[in-house]
Amino acid sequence: MDPALALEVAALSKQRAIIDAIEKGGSGVQQFYNGAVVFVTGGSGFLGKQLIEKLLRSCDVKKIFVLLREKKGKTMEARLEEFLEDPVFELLCKKKPSFSNKLHAIAGDIMELKLGISEDDWSIITKEINVILHIAATTRFDESLKVATITNVRGTREALNLGKSCQNLKSFVHVSTAYSHATVSRVRREVADDFYDVPVPPNVLIEMVEHIDEGRLNDATNKFIGDWPNTYCFTKAVAEEAVRTMSDGLPVCIVRPAIVVGAYREPSPGWIDMSCAYGPSGLILGVGLGLLHTNFADPKIQVDLVPADLVNNAILVAAHQTAHANGEKKIYTVCSARNSITWGAIGDIYRNEARSLSSPKAVWYCYGIDVPNKWLFTIMFWLLHYIPAYVIDGVCLCIGQNRRFVKLYTKAYKMFDFFSYFTTHEWRFKDGNTQEMIQRSSESDRAIFNCDITSLHWKEYILIWSMGLRKYIVKDGLTGTDYAVKKQHFFFVLNLIVTALYAYFWWSLFSFINSAVRYVL
């Protein structure tokens, strides 16, 4: 059996305990959702899809309303059909073939007032909804202040208004980010699982972006966000303030996940989707295909990665416990603080154990160098990526092929630049509320809805992550691994030769320039 396929089979065998616990049906969380009507925003996203799958597979919900909008010319109905074709639902299809009957698309848009929901739909769903899971957000770090505010802050306000209109609401979960208050002034300091002050009230910020010219807003963005690194973190912080100040009478909580990556156990080990190709998974993928060889990161800092299934389990459990919280608004941080790993340790696993899972689609020797200094990183990026890319694009031009490598590496450089704040700094996230939530859960709840980061074995997970990237992003069929490993040995020798020649070229060029300068002087 192919080593990658053998890893998947071994990982799948560990689902047995979860499946058995689900079938017993003795979980308090299951009982909370049985017969419930759930409304989900952001259900078509990476996190939302896996959450809906887990909810349908583990609980007997009555109905799930999913807020969807027309996108790229596709109607809401077409998007729902495409949504159901995602590999995330493969296990669910086997367990509950008719699960789609419980999914109901609601036409709307998180950027519109009243979430873009029609009056008729609003009247219908507010009579039925028991639980609201508000996941939708723009996660782009370079988003304009206007779009980020309308989506993340005003969208949250409108979701809260929906909750207030519901006649039978039991719980409202707002999904934020652990980095909402990971400001410059808090680098290497504690970030508590509590509310923090923000520089501008939510309604003031909303009114400002609604009425001030976007050009003026863009010019003043840095002044507005101040201590925050980007508009995403800033608006998520203000959105939390909206939850704190605009949720009177609602049973509400906030879940703050850190950097969400591929699944650990469910629905399939390593499951991930294409949207993740532009985050940390994209960086790992680039190295794994031999396309990226330098990373703007400090190998000594701890990185807060959390698998998607652990995050969604925390969301589902938090909704259950919030329904019995007597109005207390809690924040549940889902991070790896108690089971941490450094960038350097991740790199070591990829350079050693994960190399045995190399993809046959790799185009060069797979290696990556972590560089914490921006100037040194830029120099290395030019030497290892930009210059070779210009040469290759030049050859493509001569033979009539499309030039794409400079464009590809320009996107990669921007991605490194966006993420560098998080890959060169660290914070001490506190997750006491999450620990209390786990301790209050029954044994059955902990088996089905595991959200305990200490249960994650990093070496095993890194290998599963690598396998998942191959299966769901590269799509190489998890075959040809032995051939790929042999090809890596060949690429290793070839890389040594090419690197030596490349270094000799630059040494000769600088020697010539030095001699020429001396001659002129």
Question: pLDDT tens digit string along 92-127?
Answer: 999 899 998 999 999 999 999 999 999 999 999 999
Q: Read off the tokens for 387.
A: 């210059």
Query: Cα separation of 137 and 181, whole Å?
Result: 17
Task: Tell me which range, 76-90, 242-256, 270-284, 413-427, is most confidently predicted by mean pLDDT.
Answer: 242-256
Q: Read off the tokens for 263.
A: 């699944």
Query: Cα separation of 374 and 16, whole Å?
Result: 46
Question: Which residues have CB under 8 Å from 213's CB, separation 6+?
Answer: none
Per-residue confidence (pLDDT) for residue 521, from 0 to 100: 65
Query: Cα separation of 183 and 186, whole Å?
Result: 5
Three-state secondary-structure class, residue 143: coil
Is residue 418 scored above 90 in pLDDT? no
Host H or E run for residue 484: helix 481-520
Per-residue confidence (pLDDT) for residue 477, from 0 to 100: 92
Is residue 219 scored above 70 in pLDDT? yes
Task: Tell me which range, 218-232, 301-315, 399-413, is most confidently predicted by mean pLDDT.
Answer: 301-315
Q: Read off the tokens for 277.
A: 């190709």
Tell me whether residue 260 is in a domain. no
| Residue 462 binned pLDDT confidence (cut-offs 50, 70, 90) | very high
Is residue 262 scored above 70 in pLDDT? yes
Quick one: how far is CA 396 from the chain centroid?
Answer: 35
Angle between helices 280-288 and 458-469 (to 10 degrees): 80
Mean pLDDT of 136-163: 95
Query: Which residues face 105 on adjacent strands?
Result: 66
Per-residue confidence (pLDDT) for residue 363, from 0 to 100: 92
User: CA torsion 108→162→64→119, rounded to 10°?
Assistant: -50
Per-residue confidence (pLDDT) for residue 78, from 0 to 100: 77
Mean model confidence pLDDT for the chain:
92
Query: Cα separation of 461 and 433, whole Å?
Result: 25
User: CA torsion 210→215→217→221, rounded to 10°?
Assistant: 150
Is residue 323 scored above 80 in pLDDT? yes
Burial of 147 (0-12, 13-18, 19+ CB in 10 A): middle
Gyration radius of the chain over CA positions: 24
Three-state secondary-structure class, residue 260: strand
Query: Cα separation of 174 and 152, whole Å?
Result: 11
Is residue 71 scored above 80 in pLDDT? no
| Residue 177 binned pLDDT confidence (cut-offs 50, 70, 90) | very high
Three-state secondary-structure class, residue 254: strand
Q: Read off the tokens for 102.
A: 């419980």
Distances in whole angstroms, Cα of residue 241 to Cα of each of 84, 154, 176, 238, 345:
34, 12, 11, 5, 36
Query: Cα separation of 88 and 471, whole Å?
Result: 12
Q: What does DSSP assign to residue 43?
A: T
Is residue 150 scored above 80 in pLDDT? yes
Question: Which one-letter amino acid corresponds to residue 253?
Answer: C
Tell me whether residue 494 is in a domain. no
Nearest to 48 by CA among 332, 260, 282: 260
Query: Which residues face 71 on adjacent strands?
Result: 74
Is residue 482 scored above 90 in pLDDT? yes
- Look at 275 and 464; give whichever has higher pLDDT: 464
Nearest to 362 by CA among 286, 274, 280, 294: 286
Q: What is the pLDDT of residues 348-406, one digit of tens each?
A: 898 888 889 999 999 999 998 999 999 999 999 999 999 999 998 888 888 888 888 89
Tell me whether residue 145 is in a domain. yes
Angle between helices 432-440 and 308-322 (to 10 degrees): 70
Question: Which one-letter amino acid corresponds to residue 233?
Answer: C
Tell me whether residue 201 is in a domain. yes
Is residue 7 scored above 90 in pLDDT? yes
| Residue 212 binned pLDDT confidence (cut-offs 50, 70, 90) | confident
Per-residue confidence (pLDDT) for residue 491, from 0 to 100: 94
Query: Cα separation of 208 and 203, whole Å?
Result: 8
Cβ 360 vs Cβ 454: under 8 Å: no
Query: Which residues face 133 on adjacent strands?
Result: 40, 173
Is residue 72 scored above 80 in pLDDT? no
Is residue 268 scored above 80 in pLDDT? yes
Mean pLDDT of 421-425: 93
Q: Give the number of domains in the chain.
A: 1
Q: What is the pLDDT of residues 222-241, one digit of tens each?
A: 888 989 999 999 999 999 99
Looking at the chain, the whole-number percentage of residues with pLDDT higher than 70 is 99
Mean pLDDT of 190-205: 95
Distances in whole angstroms, Cα of residue 159 to Cα of each of 95, 134, 381:
32, 7, 43
Tell me whether residue 68 is in a domain. yes
Cβ 29 vs Cβ 450: under 8 Å: no
Three-state SS annotation for 144-192: CHHHHHHHHHHHHHHHHHHHHHCCCCCEEEEECCHHHHCCHHHCCCEEC
Per-residue confidence (pLDDT) for residue 216, from 0 to 100: 85
Is residue 519 scored above 80 in pLDDT? no
Tell me whether residue 419 is in a domain. no
Per-residue confidence (pLDDT) for residue 449, from 0 to 100: 96
Buried/exposed 155-175: b ≥16 CB within 10 Å, e otherwise: bbbbbbebbeebeebbbbbbb
Tell me whether residue 232 is in a domain. yes
Domain containing 163 equals 35-250
Mean pLDDT of 144-161: 96
Tell me whether residue 177 is in a domain. yes
Is residue 218 scored above 90 in pLDDT? no
- Where residue 233 sits, what CATH number does that domain have? 3.40.50.720
* 185-189 contact pairs (CB < 8 A, 24+): 185/227, 186/427, 187/425, 187/426, 187/427, 188/425, 188/426, 188/427, 188/428, 189/427, 189/428
